[in-house]
Amino acid sequence: MSSHPFSTELSAKAMALKNEKLTHLHFYYHNLLAGPNATALPLNPHPARLFGRLTMADNPLTLDPELDSTAVGRVQGLYGVASRVDAALVELFNFVFTAHGGEYRGSTVTVLGRNPILAAGTREMPVVAGTGVFGFARGKVHLKTHSFNKTTGNAVVECDIYVFHY
């Protein structure tokens, strides 16, 4: 091991990193742009075109597609229309787990990537980080639109996270 004024090499053993685990998480998030309990707020709501539109989100995570089903956490972050050609978002989301008594309470999984929201079937994004139980996380997220209201923009998205962690 070597050291520099700005860094020190550590062994995985010293950081208590043992065998890596793979966890599969399944739930739904509700992106609510309209209604009295909106959870997504456009930061620049009237751009000349959709490209460049940014939205801040604090969306509920539930076990089932119904909003009143068991809550397991929140999806907090920012997304923006990143393509001038198709409906593709760049998303930075923290999946924050809040379920009372759950082993994941207080832990997060961070996702950053491109989401082509109108693509048929399942879309994939990378897991880039995590905290708590999901420290040193890496993996992928599969997203599938469960429902979308063209009038309000409200959507329910089925989410499967496959996360490696210690």
Question: What single DSSP character describes residue 2?
Answer: -
Query: Phi first, then psi: what are they for 153, rounded to 5°?
Result: 85, 0
DSSP-derived 3-state class of residue 55: strand
* 137 contacts 110 by C-beta, under 8 angstroms: yes
Q: Which residue has the tokens 């923009």?
A: 153
pLDDT higher than threshold 90 for residue 33: yes
Is residue 130 over pLDDT 80?
yes
Mean pLDDT of the residues in the chain: 90
Residues 80-105 have pLDDT tens digits of 999 999 989 999 999 999 987 789 99
CA atoms of 162 and 6, how far apart (whole Å): 34
Per-residue model confidence (pLDDT) at position 11: 67
What mean pLDDT comes out for the span 130-159? 96
Residue 94, both tokens: 């923290």
pTM summary value: 0.88
DSSP assigned state of 87: -
Query: CA–CA separation, 92 vs 55, rounded Å?
Result: 11
